[in-house]
Structure 1
Amino acid sequence: MNALLQTFLKNRSGLLSALIQHIEISAISLIIAMLIAIPLAIYAIRHRKMANVLLQIAGILQTIPSLALLGLLIPVVGIGNVPAIIALVVYALLPIFQNTYVGLNGIDPSLEEAADAFGMSRWQKLVRVELPIAMPVIISGIRTATVLIIGTATLAALIGAGGLGTYILLGINRNEPMLTFIGALASAFLAIIFSLAIQLMQKLKPKTIGILIVCFIALIGGTTGYSKYEASKPTITIAGKLGSEPDILIQMYKDLIKQDAPNTKIQLKQNFGQTSFLFSALKSNQISLYPEFTGTVLESLVHTSVKGQGTSAAKTYQLAKQKLKKQYKMTYLKPMAYNNTYAVVVKQSFANQYHLKNISDLLKIENKLHGGFDLEFIDRNDGYKGLKKVYGLDFKKISMDADLRYQAIDQGKINVTDGYTTDAQLRQFNLVALHDDRNLFPTYQGAPLINAKTMKAYPKLAKSLNKLAGKITETQMQDMNYEVSVKHRSAAVVAHNYLVKNKLVKGDN
C-alpha cells in the first residue's frame, strides 16, 4: 500500500490530466453512439427486415480487433482523439441498438392499441408510451456500452489520444506494476461511477434526463472546444515511440528548443505504438517531429532498392536523408553518435551453457530455441525474416508485446528474443546481445525527423536540435535508459541532467 500511495502522489497531477482525457473521449463516444443507435433502433422497430441487417452489421463491427481498427483509421483520419472516438463508437453501437430494439419490441401490444385509441400521433406514442416503458432495457444497454467504452479507451494512448491507458503502457514499459495498477484501477472506478450514474437516471423523469444530457453535452462540448482552441495556437508537437529512450530524446528536444526560443509553445506526445502510426501522423501534420532511426527509414519508411545491411553509417544517413526529402519533403537532421541497432538477445547463462558469441552460433542449437519477438521485428526484412534468409535460422517463435519480451526471457518462458543495443534491460536482466557476424542489421542512428510545414514555420529549429548531432554514446544512452526504466527516474530530469552536464543547455539557477 505504501508503494501504491507513493506512486499515486508522484503522478497525481498527470493522472488527473489523463483522467479528464479519458472521460472526454469516453463521454463523446457514448453520446455519439446513442445518437446513432437509438434512432436506428426506433426506425428498425417499424421495418423488421432492416432490423436484422442492422443487427448483423453492428455485430460484425464489434468483432474487428481494436488495434486493427485503429490501424485502419489512422491513414484516413490521422492520430489523436478522432480515430479513438470512431473506434469506441463502433464498439458501443451493438449493445445500445440491440437493447433499444428489444425494449421497444417487448412492449405489450394492448398498450400500443390503447395509445392509438386515445388518438396519439406516432411521435406522441413514442415519447409518452414506448420510450418510458422501454427505458430500463435501453439504460441497461447504455450501461453495457459505457463499461465497454471506458475499458477499450485505454488503447487510445497508443495513438496519441492520452487517457488512463498512458499509465498502463508506462507501467508495462518501465516494469512499474504500481503504475499499471493505478491506470487499471482508475479505469475500473471510472466505469463503475459512470455505470451507477446511468443506473440512477432510470429513476428520473424523461424530461429531467433530457436536461441532464443537454447540460452534459454542453460541458463536454465546451471542454473540447477550449482544447481545440488551445491546440489551434502555433505549437511544435514532438512525439516519441513507446519506451524510455524516445521519451528521453523528446524531452531533450523540448529543452533545446526552449533554450533558444523560450516563448515557443511545445506539446509532447509520448509512448506511441508502431512506427507507422508516428510516420502517418507526421505526414498529415498532426505532429511536428519525432526521433527516427536511419535504418528504420531505409527498411520501412521510404521506397528504395538500397537497404541498410552492409552500408556504412554515413552512407545510410545520407541516403535516408535524400529519400525523405525527395519522397516526402521532410527534413532529417544530423544523427547522434550511438548506434541503437537490433540485437538477438539471450541470457548470459544460456550463452555460457552453449558457448554462444555470434548469431550464427545459434544454428547448432536451433532445435532448442524458443523465441519471443515483437510484431514489428517478426515482419521486418532486417528482423526475423532476415534471420531466416541471412543466417538460415528457423525455430519456434511467438509474437508478444515489446515490453513483455524481456520479462518472458528472464522468467525462462522463452530463451531468445529481439532487443536494442542500448536497452537498459540488457544490464537489468544480465542478458547478452550476440554479435551480428553476417551484418544483417543496418546502422540505427537516431535523428529528428521534421515535416515541411514545421520547418517553414520554425526555420531556426534545425540549429537548436543539431546540438545533439554526434553526441550521446551507446553507454551513455544505456545508462540513461537504466535510470528511467529501472530506477524509475523522470525522463525529463534524466534528459535535462545530460544536457546540463554536456553544456548543451544552461543549468538551473
Structure 2
Amino acid sequence: MSSIIHILQTQGGEIWSALGQHISISLISLFIAAIIAIPLAIVLMTHKRIAEVILQITSILQTIPSLALLGILIPMVGIGTVPAIIALVVYAVMPIFQNTYSGLTTIDPDLDEAAEAFGLSRAKKLVKFQIPLAMPMIISGIRIAMVMIIGTATLAALIGAGGLGTYILLGIETNNNALLLIGAILSAVLTLIFSALIKAISKLSLRKMGILFATLIVLFGGFAGYRSIVKPPVNVTIAGKMGSEPEILINMYKELIEEDHPNMKVSLKPNFGGTTFLYKALQSGSIDIYPEFTGTVLQALVKTNQKVSHNPEKTYQVARKLMKKDANMEYLAPMKYQNGYDLAVTQSFAKKYNLKTISDLKKVEHRLHAGFDPDFYQQNDGFPGVKKAYGLDIASAKTMEPSIRYKAIANGKVNLVDGYTTDPEVKEYNLVVLKDDKNHFPPYQGAPLMTEKFAMAHPEVKKTLDKLAGKISESDMQKMNYLVTVKHEKSSKVARDYLEDKGLLK
C-alpha cells in the first residue's frame, strides 16, 4: 500500500493522463461500434439469412487474438490510437449487433399486426414500440461491449496508444506489483462506473438519448480538434522492446536529442513489443528509431548464409552492411556492453545434477521444464539454435514474458529459463548461469536502428546518438537494470543520472 501511495503522489499527472487516454479510446470505440452495429441490425431485422451471415462473420472476427490483430493493422495504419480503436471496434460490434438483432426480432408478432392495423409506417413502428421494447437487449449488448473494450484496451499500450495498460505492462516487466495493481484496479473501477452510467442512460427517452449522444459528439470533436491544434509536433518517435533495459536506452536517446536540439520533440513508445513487432513498425514509418542488438539483426532481421562471428566488431560490421544492403536501414555504432542470451537454473537444481555448462543439460533433458521469452523461443539464435547445437530434447517449454519467467523459476513452476547477461534477476533469485561451452550465442551489442531515409533527413540525430558508441559497460547496465527492476526507480531518472554522471549531459 505504501508503494501505491508513493506512486500516486509522484506520478499523479502521468496516471491521470493514462486514465484519460483509456477513457477516450474506450468511448470512441464503443460509439463507433454502436453506430455500425445498431443500424445494421435494424436494416437486417427482416433479412434473416443475411443477418446470420453477419453474425458468423463478427463471431469469427472475435476469435482473432488481439495481439495478432494489432500486428496485422500496424503495417496498414501505423501505431497509436487508430489501430487500437479499429481492433476494439472489431471486438465490440458482435455483442451489440447480436443483442440488437435479437431484441428486435423477438417482439410479439401481435404488436406488429396491431401497428399495421393502425396504419403505422416502418419508421414509426421502430420509434414507437420496436426500439423501446428492444432497448433492454440493446443496452445489455452495449454493456457487454464496454466491459470487453475496457479490458482489451489495456493492450493499446503495446502499440503506443497509452492508457492504463502502460502501468500493467510496466508492473509486469519491472516486477512492480504496485504499478500493476494501479493499472488493474483503475481498469476495474472504470468498468463499474461506465456500466452504471449505461444503465442510467437506458432509462432516458429516445429523444433525450439522441440529445445526449449529439452533445458527446460535439464535445469529443471539439476536444480532438483542440488537441490537434495545441499538441506540439513530434519530430522523432523512439520505441523500445519489453523490459527495463530498452526503456532506459530510449530515455537516454530522448535526453541526448532534446538537449542537443531544443527545438526537437521526442516521443517515446516503451514496452512496444517483440523484435518482429518493432521492426515492422520501423519499416512502415510508424516509429523512427529503436535499439537493436547485433546478434538479433543477423539471426532474425537479415538473410545470411555466413556463420556469425564471435568477434563483436566483425559481427557489428556484417550486421551494418546487411541492414544497409537488404533493408535500407542505418545501424549506428554500438555501445560497449554485450547483452547476450544465457540459460539459467536454480542453485539447488545445478548442485543436485552437477550442472555447469549447457552441454550438461543433456543428461537431464527429460527433467527440464523451461520458461522462455517469446523471442528466444522462436529465433534461430535462441531455443531452436540451442536444441540443434547441443542436441537437446527437453520435456516441455512454455513462452512467458521476461519478468514472469524469473518468478516462475523462483516459485518452482519451471526449472530452466533463458535470460540476458545484464539481467539483475540472476543475482536477485540467486540463479546459476550455465556456460555456453559450444559458443552458440553470438555477440549482442545494442545500437540505434533507423531507416536510411530518416538518417539522411536528420544527420544531426545520428551525430547525437553516436555519443553512446563504446559507452555503457556491462556492470553499468546491470546496475541500471537493478535500480529499475528491483528498486523500482523510474527509467527516465536512471537514464538521466547515468548521462549526467558520465558527462554526456550538461
**Structures share fold, TM-score greater than 0.5:** yes
Deviations 1:76-99 (A, max 9, x none): 322222222121111111110111
Structure 1 position 454, deviation (Å) = 2.7
How is 1:341-352 mapped onto 2 (pairs within 5 angstroms)?
Answer: 341-352=340-351
Distance in 2, matches of 1:270 and 1:398, equals 25
Distance in 1, matches of 2:295 and 2:209, equals 57
| Aligned residue number for residue 299 of structure 2 | 299
How is 1:53-132 mapped onto 2 (pairs within 5 angstroms)?
Answer: 53-132=53-132
| Aligned residue number for residue 338 of structure 1 | 337
Structure 1 position 345, deviation (Å) = 1.2
Please say if 1:399 is aligned against 2:371: no
Structure 1 position 128, deviation (Å) = 2.7
Distance in 2, matches of 1:220 and 1:83, equals 19
Q: Is the 8 A contact 1:164 1:183 kept in 2?
A: yes
Distance in 1, matches of 2:310 and 2:3, equals 48
Distance in 1, matches of 2:266 and 2:226, equals 17
Distance in 1, matches of 2:331 and 2:449, equals 5
Q: Is the 8 A contact 2:296 2:381 kept in 1?
A: no
How is 1:44-443 mapped onto 2 (pairs within 5 angstroms)?
Answer: 44-229=44-229, 233-306=233-306, 308=308, 310-396=309-395, 397-443=397-443
- Percent identity over the alignment? 57
Structure 1 position 413, deviation (Å) = 1.2
Q: SS at 1:241's partner residue?
A: coil
Distance in 1, matches of 2:452 and 2:48, equals 53
Mark the runs of 5 or more structure 2 residues left unpaired by the alignment: none
Q: Is the 8 A contact 1:334 1:469 kept in 2?
A: yes
Distance in 2, matches of 1:370 and 1:484, equals 29
- Moved beyond 4 Å, runs of 4+: 226-232
Distance in 1, matches of 2:83 and 2:302, equals 25
Structure 1 position 367, deviation (Å) = 2.5
Amino acid at match of 1:429: Y
| Aligned residue number for residue 501 of structure 2 | 501
Structure 1 position 227, deviation (Å) = 4.4
Deviations 1:315-348 (A, max 9, x none): 2111211122223322111000011011111123
| TM-score of the superposed pair, with normalisation by structure 1 | 0.96
Structure 1 position 307, deviation (Å) = 5.0
Q: SS at 1:398's partner residue?
A: strand
Mark the runs of 5 or more structure 1 residues left unpaired by the alignment: none
Deviations 1:474-503 (A, max 9, x none): 111011000110001111111111111111
Q: Is the 8 A contact 2:232 2:265 kept in 1?
A: no
The structure-2 alpha-carbon separation of the partners of 1:329 and 1:226, relative to structure 1 and needing over 3 Å to count, comes to farther
How is 1:22-33 mapped onto 2 (pairs within 5 angstroms)?
Answer: 22-33=22-33
Distance in 2, matches of 1:402 and 1:293, equals 17
Q: Is the 8 A contact 1:88 1:149 kept in 2?
A: yes
Q: Is the 8 A contact 1:115 1:129 kept in 2?
A: no
Q: SS at 2:364's partner residue?
A: helix
Q: Is the 8 A contact 1:378 1:384 kept in 2?
A: yes
Distance in 1, matches of 2:239 and 2:410, equals 30
Q: SS at 1:189's partner residue?
A: helix
Deviations 1:133-169 (A, max 9, x none): 2112101110110011001111111122111111011
Deviations 1:162-210 (A, max 9, x none): 1111101111111111111110000011111111111111111111111
Distance in 1, matches of 2:163 and 2:480, equals 26
Distance in 2, matches of 1:247 and 1:325, equals 25
Deviations 1:245-301 (A, max 9, x none): 011101111111122112211111111111111111111111111111111111111
Structure 1 position 228, deviation (Å) = 4.6
Structure 1 position 109, deviation (Å) = 2.0
Amino acid at match of 2:173: N
| Aligned residue number for residue 486 of structure 1 | 486
Structure 1 position 124, deviation (Å) = 2.4
The structure-2 alpha-carbon separation of the partners of 1:232 and 1:112, relative to structure 1 and needing over 3 Å to count, comes to farther
Q: Is the 8 A contact 1:37 1:93 kept in 2?
A: yes
Distance in 2, matches of 1:287 and 1:231, equals 18
Aligned length: 505
Q: Is the 8 A contact 2:249 2:291 kept in 1?
A: yes
Q: Is the 8 A contact 1:79 1:277 kept in 2?
A: no
Q: Is the 8 A contact 1:390 1:440 kept in 2?
A: yes
